[in-house]
Amino acid sequence: MSIEVALRHRFADKTLDIRFTAPSPGVTALFGRSGAGKSTALMTIAGLLRPDACRIVIDGEVLADTAAGLWLAPERRRVGLVFQDARLFPHLSVAGNLRYGQRRAPPGAIGFDEVVDLLGIADLLGRRPHTLSGGERQRVAIGRALLSQPRLLLLDEPLSGLDGARKAEILPYLARLKAALRLPMLYVSHAPDEVLRLADTLVLIKDGHVVGTGPVAEVAARGDLPFARRNDAGALLLGHVMGHEAARGLTRIEGGGAVWLVPLLDRPVGATCRIRIPAREVILAAKVPEAISVQNIVPGTLRHIEAETARHSALVEIGLPDGTLLARVTPDAIARLGLSVGGPVLALVKSTAIEVL
Amino acid sequence: MFDAQDIEAIWLTLIVAGRAVGFALPLAVVAAWALARGRFAGHAMLNTLVHLPLVLPPVVTGWLLLIVFGIRGPIGSRLMEWFGMRLVFTTNGAALACAVMTFPVMVRAIRLSLEAVDPGLEAAARSLGAGWFDRMLTITMPLASPGILVGGIVGFATCLGEFGAVITFAASIPGETRTLPLAIYAALQEPGGEERAAALALVSLALALTGLLLSDWLARRLNRVLGR
């Protein structure tokens, strides 16, 4: 099943033309700067904004098709929406807010107790929204949207109003929801860490157009796309825990078809995990160096060199058996090593530089 | 201190004000909603019409009511014909005059509170499956309730003091249309009626103060419930 979105709208100063297809279920992140058109796309899918032309299909169900004169009212779309500012009803308790959508929805698979438990809001049920912290409010808003038994959950930068600590408090809940509920989600964000942590599919939006779309690990490692050209560029590898070497204080993780040693983790063998390897932490070598502290020396194929003229560096894509690694080095280093596209290269990564998400 | 006639005047005042608010408040909510949210051709016209009694001399409002609701007036004659209902010189007529005079006060209070309701909350309710009427009933009106309540109470308190329009449209008939202000005026016309007028004026003052204090207290309580 899939989510098909196509919309066109002319604003006074810009034109949006966004079209993408995303798998369902799964988390699809719409990533781009503010003003790129991400939120407009989300509001169109929810039905709260009517563009010049659009076609929205979710799992075969057509919600809008302006060419055919079809436009379903938002209250009849069964699309859950979580706003940046929570928008809890101030005159209702937390339980009242949670039940608001549930009462108006057909009986569904998502139960009240399950949602309350998944989001850890059992202690808040009797409270009023204005007594909640920002993070608690957002958790209740997510629960409220889920209990309306949506066929699609839309999240409009749900964490952007929160500080770092609050963000870290909510991200695990979102990861749990993703694992527990087989629900398609569209997640609008301009924060790379949220995208890398949660998304399965990444849709890059720039100036009202989709500039790249695909599985998150692939799009994140494309040197020609804006996601990888950021200051803290890095590759994302999907993998799992292979085993622990307690004596050495190390854990072995398989990711992208290679084996990585990272500082000992408290995760069971076989558990899936995501690792991020920052491009500036990757050292390139033409042959295996001796007597060096680096734990990970991984062979790969040099696939592409993206020149970054403004910062006098280059972003190098290194093909692994089942993934891509990014390295940011100087053009001089590439020349000194005599590296060329298509040739072999060794990537050197310190264990402590690998971020396990 | 008060004779039967005074008690009657006080009681009548409360009845007239009660009927006026009961009749005008629902209409005021509709008018306020149209002015706060509606975008239609006659918006400015409606706004002017609603506020007209505020700037017209009350005696002119009373006279206009006579023309429209008098037994030969376009509406008055039909009310008589169809329902056998006469408004001129009756308690209901006094209530109508009060309702028209206090309408702008009510609309203003309700409109302010409607405009303060975050449309984002209505959008949220929409995405949760609530249709127009449902949203109105469960989100918009509860959130605007402090304004509606204050509008009602201030409207009621204002009705207690209506004079010009009431005496012009409904005259000053003891037991029918002679409300407190009219009774005070009548007492002042009689030789040696000052004492009586003063006693009635005190009642008037007490009722007005109670109304204002009550509205203030209720609004604060409701706002606390709404978490403001």
Residues of chain A contacting residue B134, judged by C-beta atoms under 8 Å apart: 104
A100 with B128: Cβ contact below 8 A: yes
Q: Give B5: exposed, middle or buried? Use CB within 10 Å, 0-12, 13-18, 19+.
A: middle
Above 70 in pLDDT, residue A34? yes
pLDDT, averaged across chain A: 90
The band of B27, judged by pLDDT with boundaries at 50, 70 and 90, is: very high
* Residue entry with tokens 């997640």: A187
User: Greatest CA separation found in chain B?
Assistant: 70
Q: First CA to last CA across chain A, in angstroms?
A: 28
Cβ of residue A40 closer than 8 Å to a chain B Cβ = no
Compute, in degrees rounded to 10, the torsion defined by CA atoms A165, A170, A175, A178.
-160
- Distance to chain A for B125, nearest Cα, Å: 8
At which residue do the structure tokens 């990757």 appear?
A282
A143 touches chain B (CB under 8 A): no
Can you give the C-alpha Rg of chain A in angstroms? 22
pLDDT for B211 beyond 90:
no
| CATH fold for domain A2-220 | Rossmann fold (3.40.50)
pLDDT mean over A227-240: 84
Cβ distance A128 to B227 less than 8 Å, yes or no, reads: yes
Task: Look at domain B4-225 and name its CATH class.
Answer: mainly alpha
CB pairs under 8 A between A and B: 68
Peptide bond into A25 cis (omega under 30): yes
In chain A, what residues touch B142 (CB-CB under 8 Å)?
91
The predicted structure's pLDDT at residue B228: 65
CATH topology of domain A234-356: OB fold (Dihydrolipoamide Acetyltransferase, E2P) (2.40.50)
Q: Is the pTM of this model over 0.90?
A: no
Q: Does A42 lie at the interface with B, CB-CB under 8 angstroms?
A: no
Domain regions of chain A by residue span: 2-220, 234-356
Nearest to B129 among A75, A83, A90 (CB): A75
Q: Give B-chain residues touching A145 at CB under 8 angstroms.
A: 127-128
State mean pLDDT over B140-151: 91
Please list, in sequence order, all residues whose beta carbon lies within 8 angstroms of the beta carbon of residue A56, skipping any fewer than 6 positions away. Answer: A4, A5, A6, A7, A44, A45, A62, A63, A64, A65
Kindly list the distances between the CA atom of residue A213 and the CA atoms of A19, A226, A274, B55, in Å, as whole numbers in the listed order.
10, 12, 19, 64
Number of Cβ atoms within 10 Å of the Cβ of B135: 19
For residue B18, what are the CA distances in angstroms to A64, A142, B88? 50, 45, 18
Which tens digits make up the pLDDT trace of B98-123?
A: 999 999 999 999 999 999 999 999 99
Shortest CA distance from A148: residue in chain B: B128
For residue A43, the surrounding DSSP H or E stretch is helix A38-46
- Model confidence over A186-212: pLDDT tens digits? 999 888 888 888 899 999 999 899 999
Q: How far is CA A306 from the centre of its chain?
A: 24
Side chain identity at residue B227, one-letter code: G
Closest A-chain CA to B228: A130
User: Cα dist. A297→A54, A248, A287, A300, B36 in Å?
Assistant: 49, 17, 10, 10, 68
For residue A225, pLDDT beyond 90: no
| Residue A53 confidence (pLDDT) above 90 | yes
Which H or E run contains A195? helix A192-198
Distance from CA of B130 to the nearest CA of A (A): 6
Q: Is residue A229 scored above 80 in pLDDT?
A: no
| pLDDT band at B1; cut points 50, 70, 90 | low
Whole-Å CA distances, A269 to A179, A194, A237, B177: 18, 25, 17, 89
Between CA A145 and CA A153 the distance in angstroms is 7
Q: Does residue A142 carry a pLDDT above 90? A: yes
Task: State how beta strands A61-65 and A70-71 pair.
Answer: antiparallel
Determine whether the interchain pair A145/B127 forms a contact, defined as Cβ–Cβ distance below 8 Å: yes
Give the pLDDT of residue A33: 86
* B-contacting residues in A 74-113 (Cβ below 8 Å): 74-81, 83, 85, 87, 89-91, 100-101, 104-105
Q: Contact at 8 Å (CB) between A354 and A263? A: no
Asked if A46 and A218 count as a contact pair (C-beta separation under 8 A), the reply is no
Mutate to test the interface with B, among A89, A128, A130 (most CBs of B within 10 A): A89
Q: How confident is the model over B46-95, as pLDDT tens digits?
A: 999 999 999 999 999 999 999 999 888 899 889 888 988 888 899 999 99
What are the pLDDT digits (tens) for B162-190?
A: 999 999 999 888 888 999 999 999 999 98
For residue B132, the distance in angstroms to the closest alpha carbon of chain A comes to: 9
Q: A46 vs B225: CB contact, 8 Å cut-off?
A: no
| Residue A210 tokens, joined | 């989709």
Give the separation between CA B27 and CA A148, rounded to whole angstroms: 34
Nearest CB to A90; choose among B127, B134, B227: B227
Sequence ranges of the domains in chain B? 4-225
What is the pLDDT, as a whole number, of residue A1?
84
* Average confidence (pLDDT) over B217-228: 80
